[in-house]
């Protein structure tokens, strides 16, 4: 799923604000540093997910028989190959 930079910034701001309002949470760094780190982590994770998605789609498209995107068969193959790619990359 693609999430734009604005949405990531907005989510990180909401998370920091929520944590600032929680008495059980204490920042060891300035809140903006925490927010920027959250942005980096979210961006990196989304980039990894995007790479896995591209690899899975490429794998399914390489089948000899044409499998329509969005069909039940496509969805099953997508989930199967997605899980395999996560394991191959050591993410699961």
Contacts of residue 11, defined as CB under 8 A and 6 or more positions apart, other chains included, come to 38, 42
Given a contact cutoff of 8 angstroms between Cβ atoms, the answer to whether 17 and 32 are in contact is no
Q: Which domain holds residue 71?
A: 5-88
Query: How many domains does the chain fold into?
Result: 1
- 31-83 pLDDT, tens per residue? 999 999 999 999 999 999 999 999 999 999 999 999 999 999 999 999 999 99
Given a contact cutoff of 8 angstroms between Cβ atoms, the answer to whether 73 and 67 are in contact is yes
- To the question of pTM greater than 0.85 for the whole model, the response is no
Give the per-residue pLDDT at 1.
Answer: 59
| Largest CA-CA distance found in the chain, in angstroms, rounded | 58
More confidently predicted of 37 and 3: 37
């Amino acid at each position: 799923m693609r999430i734009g930079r604005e949405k990531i910034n907005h989510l990180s701001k909401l998370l920091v604000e929520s944590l600032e309002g929680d008495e059980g949470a204490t920042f060891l760094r300035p809140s903006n540093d925490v927010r920027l780190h959250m942005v980096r982590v979210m961006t990196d994770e989304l980039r990894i997910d995007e790479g896995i998605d591209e690899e899975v789609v490429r794998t399914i498209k390489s089948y000899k028989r044409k499998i329509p995107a969005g069909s039940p068969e496509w969805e099953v193959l997508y989930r199967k190959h997605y899980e395999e790619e996560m394991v191959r990359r050591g993410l699961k």
